[in-house]
Amino acid sequence: MVSEVNGVRIELPWMIADKGQLHWIRAQTGIQYTLSQLRPMMLDINGSRRPSAKIYSIITDQHVMDGPSRQVASTSVYKMAQRFAAGDRSASRGRHCGRCAYLSICANIP
């Protein structure tokens, strides 16, 4: 599956598509965060809009479901695609910094 956001093609991992709805089974936790990243991409997956997606966590036995973003230009995925299309590959600060292997040499950390 391939999504296009702001002109950038993003290859997605496998998902099950059933009657237009996407089902994504994940072993990790953090399914709400995963869904928030998927929502802008749902506007164009393999050339068509997907009305809803459900993400399952086999670790926590929970699931979340939502539709595509309504204001895609305000999402972090869209902003990342803008930077990526412009050739900007620099790191950006965020909650992921605490788990980054390059934290000690990162130019974004004062």
The one-digit pLDDT tens for each residue of the chain (110 residues) are 999 999 999 999 889 999 889 999 998 878 998 999 999 999 999 999 999 999 999 999 999 999 999 999 999 999 999 999 999 988 777 777 778 888 888 887 76
What pLDDT does 89 receive?
84
Q: What are phi and psi of 82, to 5 degrees?
A: -60, -50
Whole-model pTM: value is: 0.79
- Give the torsion sign (CA, 38, 40, 42, 47): negative
pLDDT at residue 110, rounded to an integer: 63
Query: Residue 51: helix, strand or coil by DSSP?
Result: coil
